[in-house]
Each structure stands twice: as structure tokens, then as C-alpha cells.
Structure 1
Amino acid sequence: MRVICPHCKNVNNVPQKESYKKANCGKCKNSLLETKPIELTDSNFDEVLVNSDIPVIVDFWAPWCGPCKMMGPNFEQSAKKFPLKMLFTKVNTENEQNIGARFGIRSIPTLIVFKNGKEVHRVSGALDEASLSNLASQFI
């Protein structure tokens, strides 16, 4: 399966397994098991979606948004539970207004789950860690 390196954004081919003890990027050699959400921009958004064989969850947020700030740590904690199962990403709608407009983001935070580059689910509003993990589990 193809997965995106969270460090250098290189596309890696990884054998699909139930769990992984070790998986490193072929380019930068950093761990692919790193689960810190990737910041997406106009320049890498489509590339990440198209080249990820695992589901991608995108958090549309803004730095001035109180609920977004509250949900941020929950989003990062949930990401740690799904290494090489789901890619957690973020789009700052303040900086990336084109992406927000393209997906009709009217309120933030909004989460969109993509599978095979296509939107399969959308939810608006801040979620706690358990709700985020349940959401991610539905699409693995």
C-alpha cells in the first residue's frame, strides 16, 4: 500500500499488515509510524489524497477558532492510535482559503474523511478524543 511520509511527504510502498513494529521512509529514513498530523496546503493537498491508500481525515480549522483549539490536542491523541491505518491531516482555512472554498467549508472545525481520494464522510463541530477515534475506526 502507498503511504505518505509525515516528515518529507514522500510516497512509500509498505506491505499491508495488521500491525507494524518498524516502518521507515525510503527517502528521509524517519519513521512512518510517526502520527503527528500533516499540515496540508494548496501545493500538497491533492498529491497527499491521491497517493494515500489508507483513509485520510482532514481537520479544517483556523487559529482564531476556540472550538478548533480545544479539539486540536484530541485530534493529535487520536492520530497516535492509527499509525499506517489512517492519515490525520490539517488544513488552516485562514491560510488555505482555496481549499476551504473548494470543499464548501462553512463552519469550523469540520472533519472530512477521504478514501481513494473521494470524500466519504463529513462532520462539523469539535469532537472529543473518543468520538474522533470512533469516527476513524469506521473507515479503516
Structure 2
Amino acid sequence: MSTDALHIVCPHCHTTNRVAPADLGKAPDCGKCHRALFDGHPVELDESSFDRHIGRSHLPVLVDFWAPWCGPCRMMAPQFEAAARQLEPQVRLAKLNTEEAQQLAARHQIRSIPTMALFVGGREVARQAGAMGAADIVRWVRAQLSSAAF
């Protein structure tokens, strides 16, 4: 896949874009809406956009399952945002509000929040429950990606 174009789902209009691996670090933009494909912020997902981002993206996707009433979730939010700035464009970070997407949270058997799930090639490869700092999030993701065989 190193010479083939990667499929990157736009965080704004959710269109799938083809990006050469060598161009990932060159601030690529969406062919449809012309906004940046990577802006250092987690993508806010919902029921309709979740499967598109998980299933169509060639990049690993780290999803933070959270809820607005959850204190640890609110404490982790700025840390997750900081981790996005460090991990992009090699990993897409996304957030899913479990209060608004209860069926999706149930489908993924989210039992406590915050829970982070790492998806590669459309399937979950790792999961971590509990709030973490940015450095720990980055370290955990990199360890999972380097040790897992996909």
C-alpha cells in the first residue's frame, strides 16, 4: 500500500479522498469541500458518519467514546485534543458522544466511559478504559500500532 493512494475520510463533509502517502505531511485538503483533511482536532462522529470513518479510512482511527455528563470524559477532552495534534496525520482521532449514539455504543459494547478504541482496517484492535493524559494516549496508540499484526 506504500505506493497506492490512501483513502482518507474528510472530517468536515465525510467524503472519502485519495491521498498519496508521501502527501500526508503536506496538509492535504478535501477534493469536495476543500477544507483541511487534518486540522489537529478530533473528528466529531455520529451514527451516520461512524461507519464511514472506521470502514473507509486506510488510517488507524482512535475513537473516544464519551458523554457530556461524565467528569473524567470532560477532563480527558483537552488531553485527547493534544494527542490529535501529535498523532495526525498517521492516526485519525475521533469522538463519539454515547448519549447521542446509544445504539452504536451498545453495538461496540461500551460499558464504561471514557473508553478509547483503536480501529485498523475497519476492525477494533485495541481498547483502553479510563481517562489518560496526552502523552499516555500517544504512547499507548504507538505501542498498539507497533506491536499488533494487522
TM-score in terms of structure 1 length: 0.94
Equivalent in the alignment of 1:95: 100
Q: Secondary structure at the match of 1:77?
A: helix
Unmatched tracts of structure 1, length 5 or more: none
Contact persistence 1:67–1:126 (CA under 8 A): yes
More helix by share: 2
Q: Secondary structure at the match of 1:80?
A: helix
Contact persistence 1:110–1:124 (CA under 8 A): yes
**1:25 maps to which of 27, 30, 47:** 30
CA distance in structure 2 between the partners assigned to 1:21 and 1:106 by the alignment: 39
**1:68 maps to which of 63, 67, 73:** 73
Equivalent in the alignment of 1:3: 8
Aligned Cα RMSD in Å? 1.4
Is 2:91 the counterpart of 1:86?
A: yes
**2:117 maps to which of 94, 104, 112:** 112
Q: What one-letter code is carried by the residue in structure 1 that aligns with 2:51? A: D
Q: Secondary structure at the match of 1:7?
A: coil
State the shift of 1:135 in Å: 1.8
Kindly report structure 1 stretches of 4+ aligned residues shifted beyond 6 Å: none
Number of equivalent positions: 140
Equivalent in the alignment of 1:125: 130
CA distance in structure 2 between the partners assigned to 1:6 and 1:63 by the alignment: 21
Contact persistence 1:6–1:36 (CA under 8 A): no
CA distance in structure 2 between the partners assigned to 1:34 and 1:40 by the alignment: 15
Q: Higher mean Cα deviation, 37-46 or 91-100?
A: 37-46
CA distance in structure 1 between the partners assigned to 2:18 and 2:40 by the alignment: 17
Equivalent in the alignment of 2:3: none
Q: Deviations over 1:101-123 (max 9, x none)?
A: 00111110000000000110001
Unmatched tracts of structure 2, length 5 or more: 1-5
State the shift of 1:136 in Å: 2.2
CA distance in structure 1 between the partners assigned to 2:66 and 2:94 by the alignment: 11
Contact persistence 1:3–1:84 (CA under 8 A): no
